Structure 1
Amino acid sequence: MHNWSQVMQKPQQITPPRSIGVLLFPSFSNHCLANAVEPLRGANMLSRRGLYDWQFLSLDGAGVASSSGLTVQPQARLSDHPGGDYLLVMPSYEFERHATPTLTRALRAAAGRFRTIVGLDTGSYLMAAAGLLDGRRATIHWDELDTLAERFPDVTVTEDRFVIDGTRITCGGTTTTFELMLHLIDAHHGAMLRLEVAALFMHGEADPRADPLTRLPRDRLVQAAVSIMRRNIETPLPVGEIATRLSLSQRGLEAHFARETGMSPRAVYTALRLRQARLLAERTTLSVAEIATRCGYGDASAMTRAFRREFGQPPTVYRQS
């Protein structure tokens, strides 16, 4: 199990941001686009680093209107983009009419410039039409599973929410796009940032008015626990109380956290409180004592020591820098 404080003390290796092209087609889904790029923006904001950089693309460089009429002006044509880490292929509606020989050539060429090609919503259909999914597992929006399987017998079509098969990723819809982005953030930068990004958008939030005996799906339990923690920063709850609110034993909750994050609930709670302290040090003129109180520390010295362990310097020095 990770000791998060020890992890944070290791010098961070500064790497260039991951480069992402977002290829849009007429009638793309605004919802899908937002679920693709907003988690990346959130990761940049929460980490205070440029972890991800993205550009909107189209085949011809002209503005692209979404299914609801919102027009996005691409920053480049696909053929002019030098390539990068990921190309997100996002057609959504009317996808079959986009599967032209021109697009097939463009996608095959792009596959030589981008490390990974990602089909979002119905993007996997265009990838398959270009031969980029032959011999691979893939998914698509569930309304189109049969269409994909019938048209492209060399593709193993599954009902998974998203599928990662080497340098090809496919995703089944708009909500699953958000889940995929959280998964990639976790793979690139760790479980803690994934939990923070999910909480930023209230993803997996447990309704505090809901019947406490209502069981949450297993994959949402950790996020629901984190949501409870975030709502109780100033007066931290015992881990056992959080478990009770989720109809779990404390041992059961700890097992979920160990499996999903490699950390204990207490370690995650401490990390969340210290990130709130860091935010207050950055954005307010509150005294260290007041920050400590607002983050659940009765003793400013104890908060300062924990802050130093987590971020390598005390809050006063952090604020000045």
Structure 2
Amino acid sequence: MRSWMNTNAAPQRIGLLLFDDFSMHCLANTVEPFRAANTLSGRELYVWSFLSLDGQSVTSSSGLEVRVHGALTDAGGDVLFILPSYRFRDHATNHTARALRSATRRFPTLAGLDTGSWLMAAAGLLDGYRATIHWEELGAFSETFPELEATRARHVIDRDRITCGGALAAFDLVLELIENRHGAALRLEVATLFMSPQATGPQAAPTARSRSVARAIALMQENLEAPLRLPDLARRIGRPLRDLEKRMQTEVGAPPQTVYRRLRLIEARKIILETELAISEVALRTGYEDPSALTRAFRQEFGVTPRQLRSGKDAPI
């Protein structure tokens, strides 16, 4: 499977509409995965701009002032992320509603982060849609806006409307958007970048929801040079192999052998780009018997050989 789809596509243009008292945690969990996708792919897959309703600076809930790139009325793109966070009821004015309705003519997709779905609903932009919000507001959200189907979920993608509840959910959402546009391998590579090598719970693997899958991925990362047999991997996390296969397919979107291969090839790619080690040495460090085996797997995954990648020839980055 190729790591990235739409390799010739234009960068996706993203607007981030911020309001006073927005959550920096939520904003970082949205922007940083996009930034990482650009860095890891070596291409500008995503471009973004920070916006406010009037083009004036906004201040986060922690007191950090952000100078935006412009006003919403002057902006357009592919997706508009809406982030009000803590004072969302104060921001749910007629002026905001008009601005958001007008924005739908310039942004085909709208995404409400944290409590952003409240502003979307107040503008009538979620009527007939499934949607979610920060879990603390879900009851009031459902009662206030009966025209939508309020759902308890980390995030909901319903046609041209996206909603999610909270900062951690925003990270999960962006990983899914990256995978939908550029493939599971890039999603895994982005998620791997944010993993803590000391963590053993679900936080060890941002793609995983369960402790067992997170631990399995952590063990894979710890054993890239001498890959574990999958039955041994399952035994070390205390799960039957079939159970691990089912869980990993559900949570990560690929079976264990595919995930393990991608982690090894991601490490090989990193070594190739960052060092001058011989390809034979790279193969040994990532669990391949010889350079030919690495080259075949590498070409299948990335569409380019290790030597082509190092020389910059015909590389998809």
TM-score normalized with structure 1 length: 0.86
Which residue is 1:94 aligned to? 87
Which residue is 2:204 aligned to? none
Give SS of 2:78's match: strand
Superposed, 1:267-282 pairs within 5 Å as 267-282=258-273
Deviations 1:235-294 (A, max 9, x none): 211112221233222222233344455644223322221221121111111222322222
Give SS of 2:128's match: coil
Query: Structure 1 residues 11, 169: closer, same or farther in 2, change over 3 A?
Result: closer
Most deviating of 250-259 and 274-283: 250-259
Aligned mate of 2:48, from 48, 54, 64: 54
Which residue is 1:319 aligned to? 310
Q: Does 1:172 align with 2:165?
A: yes
Paired with 2:11 and 2:91, the residues of 1 have a C-alpha distance of: 30
Query: Structure 1 residues 126, 39: closer, same or farther in 2, change over 3 A?
Result: same
Superposed, 1:267-306 pairs within 5 Å as 267-306=258-297
Which residue is 1:74 aligned to? 68
Aligned mate of 1:45, from 39, 61, 71: 39
Deviations 1:14-56 (A, max 9, x none): 1011111000000000100011111111222222222211111
Aligned mate of 2:236, from 239, 245, 261: 245
Q: Does 1:231 align with 2:222?
A: yes
* Amino acid of the structure 1 residue aligned with 2:27: L
Displacement of 1:315 after TM fit? 2.4
Which residue is 2:116 aligned to? 123
Paired with 1:32 and 1:261, the residues of 2 have a C-alpha distance of: 22
Q: Does 1:63 align with 2:57?
A: yes
Retained in 2: the 8 A contact 1:22–1:89? yes
Retained in 1: the 8 A contact 2:82–2:116? yes
Superposed, 1:112-191 pairs within 5 Å as 112-191=105-184
Paired with 1:163 and 1:258, the residues of 2 have a C-alpha distance of: 20
* Amino acid of the structure 1 residue aligned with 2:50: F
Retained in 2: the 8 A contact 1:205–1:224? no
Unmatched segments (≥5 aa) in structure 1: 209-216
Deviations 1:104-157 (A, max 9, x none): 111000012111111111111111111111222221112112222232222222
Retained in 2: the 8 A contact 1:120–1:173? yes
Query: Structure 1 residues 311, 76: closer, same or farther in 2, change over 3 A?
Result: same
Q: Give identity over the alignment, percent.
A: 52
Aligned mate of 1:29, from 15, 20, 23: 23
Paired with 1:112 and 1:129, the residues of 2 have a C-alpha distance of: 18
CA RMSD across the alignment:
2.5
Paired with 2:198 and 2:238, the residues of 1 have a C-alpha distance of: 15
Query: Structure 1 residues 131, 289: closer, same or farther in 2, change over 3 A?
Result: same
TM-score normalized with structure 2 length: 0.87
Q: Does 1:200 align with 2:190?
A: no
Query: Structure 1 residues 218, 65: closer, same or farther in 2, change over 3 A?
Result: closer
